[in-house]
Amino acid sequence: MAGKADRAAATETALVWERPERGMRGPAPERSREQLTEAAIGLADAGGLAAVSVRQVARELGTGPASLYRYVAGRDDLVDLMVDTATGEIDLDAELTGDPVTDLVALATRTQRVHLRHPWLLEVPPEALRVGPRGLDYLEFALRALEPVAGLTGPGKLEAVAVLNALVTMLSGVELRARRSPTGRQAAQAAYLGAVAGRGGHPLLAAALAGGAADGPPDGARLGAEDAAGAGAGFERVVRRVLAGLLVPDPPVR
């Protein structure tokens, strides 16, 4: 009895991908996790992550909430499936050039496009993120792009990928907020900065603003203007600079 109870407890705590979608006994399921996930993503695309619940997904599918617990243990499973499915939209079929920075900038660009397509991805707390099958494919692709980097340890490569993902998430959030911000407020902010810089009390800020006039700051408004469909030149410039520092070989252990 103890062994059976232990197996049941392990099944309940395992990630959704480790649990069978249907049991060995009973009638064939009427739904699938894929159907649940598609419905949940539709809800989140329309109303944000807060719009997703087992009850709402059941309503979308025209069934009762209790019937969905055959496929998922609860909302956390739904979110895990949603994130993994969205991750699968990132194109991993692109040929690698052999230049790690170029390849990871391209991967970051494709990742940001998915973030902008599904803004709710940015609402998932980092501590709640779980790596699923498609997430593992993404990680494998990123590590393959890093293979030419000499002197960078395995942990160093994983750290570089983690920092890159955090950077892309942050810049995607900046981009989305800029798109949602009224243009009048953006213009007022720019006018205020210009006026303050011209008063002489912040000479370093004035010099920085003047020196960056050609490139423009890497803010969301600038990124959105450069490429409304995804990451623009400003996004790529920032990611490239960060990667240049991340891919420095690890110092020798003394």
Q: What is the DSSP string of 173-214?
A: HHHHHHHHS-HHHHHHHHHHHHHHHTTTS-HHHHHHHHHTTT
pLDDT in tens, 170-189: 999 999 988 887 777 878 88
**Same domain for 237 and 115:** yes
pLDDT in tens, 103-131: 999 999 999 999 999 999 999 999 999 99
Burial class from Cβ neighbours inside 10 Å (0-12, 13-18, 19+) for residue 194 reads: exposed
Number of domains within the chain: 2
Closest of 88, 102, 86 to residue 138, by C-alpha: 88
Give residue 242's pLDDT band: very low, low, confident or very high (50, 70, 90): very high
**Same domain for 119 and 11:** no
Residue 44 vs residue 233, higher pLDDT: 44
Q: State pTM to two decimals.
A: 0.82
**Same domain for 212 and 152:** yes
**Predicted local distance difference test score (pLDDT) of residue 28:** 58
pLDDT score of 228 more than 60: no
Assigned domain for 95 exists: no
Domain span including residue 190:
100-246
> Measured between alpha carbons, how far is 77 from 48 in angstroms, rounded to an integer?
17
* CATH assignment of the domain containing 163: 1.10.357
Q: Could you list the beta-strand ranges (E) of 201-248.
A: none
Q: DSSP characters for 24-89?
A: SSSSPPSS-HHHHHHHHHHHHHHH-GGG--HHHHHHHHTS-HHHHTTT-SSHHHHHHHHHHHHHTT
* CATH assignment of the domain containing 80: 1.10.10.60
**Same domain for 222 and 140:** yes
**Same domain for 145 and 75:** no
**Same domain for 209 and 182:** yes
**Same domain for 216 and 132:** yes
Assigned domain for 93 exists: no
**Same domain for 204 and 138:** yes
H or E stretch at 140: helix 133-145
Which of 87, 111, 135 is the last residue before a domain boundary?
87
